[in-house]
Amino acid sequence: MDHQRVFYIFFGAWVVLGAASYLFFTRYRNAAVKTAVWPFYLAGIGLVFLAFIFLQGVRGTMLYIAAAATGVIMCLNYAFNGFCERCGAMVPKRSAVCPKCGEKRK
């Protein structure tokens, strides 16, 4: 598969995933469901990104570096972000209050 076609497929998938995640994470208020979906979402985004890199012809050491960097970014996103129990907004886990509704975090 040529690189330009791979790019268009990746770009289309990225737009669809971005729009779907925007709608889900901004409109849906249930923090428990968001918390359950969050790791799968991060893994899916990471796999799409790594598939794009692989299909672009990156192999060997660079692919391993990209996989490690993607894994670190996914883990950091998971570790440092949570959701407000009251309004469902994404909130840094270290934050004392929700920036959207002002609810005190546990």
Per-residue model confidence (pLDDT) at position 2: 86
Question: Which residue is it, tokens 């890199």?
Answer: 53
Please give the DSSP secondary-structure letter assigned to residue 103. Answer: P
pLDDT digits (tens, 9 = 90+) for 14-26: 999 999 999 999 9
Dist CA 99 CA 42 (whole Å) = 23
The answer to whether residues 17 and 11 touch, using CB atoms and an 8 Å cutoff, is no
| DSSP-H helix ranges across the chain | 3-27, 31-55, 61-80
Closest CA to 26 of 78, 91, 88: 88
pLDDT digits (tens, 9 = 90+) for 38-97: 999 999 999 999 999 999 999 999 999 999 999 999 999 999 999 999 999 999 999 999
